[in-house]
Structure 1
Amino acid sequence: KLESEILLLQSQFEQSENKNLEHLNEISDLIMENENLKNERIQLIDNFRTKSEENELIRTQLNNYKEELEELRLKSAELSDELIIKNQAISEYANHIKETEAKIIATQNEVKNLKENGSSLQEENITELTNKLIIEQVAKDNLQNKIKDLEQLLSQRYEQIRILENDYEQQQQMFESKINRLKNKLLDLKKLLLESN
């Protein structure tokens, strides 16, 4: 009878040992799972920090792009104002040329009349008028040269504006692309935050 009790106790002890071993294994699994969760959480926090730093960098870049775009817009506006002034100057020079041409025609008519009425006194008048004619012709040529210079300058300015507008358009596209990337990164961050909670 004692032997059977011992055997029973031994069997119960073994069962208890087995159960303890099972519990220990379960505890070990839970500890491992907890460690994994901790590591995942640390990884998520690191990812979040990295994404935050990236977003800060992108935000800085976006601000720089905004400033560059504003500078381009201002340059374009300045050039447009300059073009208006140059066009006005060309218009004024063209009016001066018309006036000078009218004076030249009037002087030529005076010279013609004097030649037709020819007298010794009028010889001096003819010389004086001829000199006047030459001066007015030189003034006209100078004005025409100024107009040519201005037209050349205008052509360069139009080209500069075209280049600036292209730059502005490219910068605008890059800016929009960066904004879209930033939006996507913010969405990723939100997902990470939700996952970490």
Structure 2
Amino acid sequence: MSRILALSDIHGFTAEARLLLEAAAYEPGRDRLFLLGDYIDYEPHTWSSLNDVMELASGGAVALAGNMERHLQRHLERELASRGSLDSASSAQLQFLQSLPLHAAEGGWLFVHAGIRPGLPLERQTEPDLIGIREEFWGAADAPPMQPSGLGRQAAQGCRRLMSCSATRRRTRSERRRESCGMAPASSASTPGPSTGCG
């Protein structure tokens, strides 16, 4: 049976992300894996995590852009503009970053990094919202659903449930990343709705 898996906000913890995929018994040919962004962090020592994401994507995973990927993309583009060239690894990373979509959909699920602006259809969502929206998305449970798909309320309620589950742990942010890396399996038979890395 095919499953849909989502993994988000790795922030450089690729070994832990691999352990999660192993614990979930992820099978690239059978399962659909959506990587929802923030694979890296501001610190350059985390940037090599992008190579693991590129490897997963070459094996069939769908990788989306998060705000951290856009940060590294701008950094590499500035470096390219000032130097005129990049080393081969950085060049490959830049090409990969430039190719990352902001959203993906499958089986009635919408995948984005941070969230969606309630009340706007997908085609009118902006990059800053898809990779960085916060309060407007989290407080959207009482907002009217998006038309025609009705995703606004489902997204806010689904992420609130995920947040309330993780908030009860009372661990530090880095401990939560190491423990869960934001992965939430979703059966394709489940009720369709959006899935986000939730910023």
TM class by shorter chain equals under 0.3
Higher relative contact order (CA 8 A, sep 6+): 1
TM-score, with structure 1 as normaliser: 0.22
Report the structure, 1 or 2, having the larger strand content: 2
TM-score, L = length of structure 2? 0.22
Q: Which has the higher helix share?
A: 1
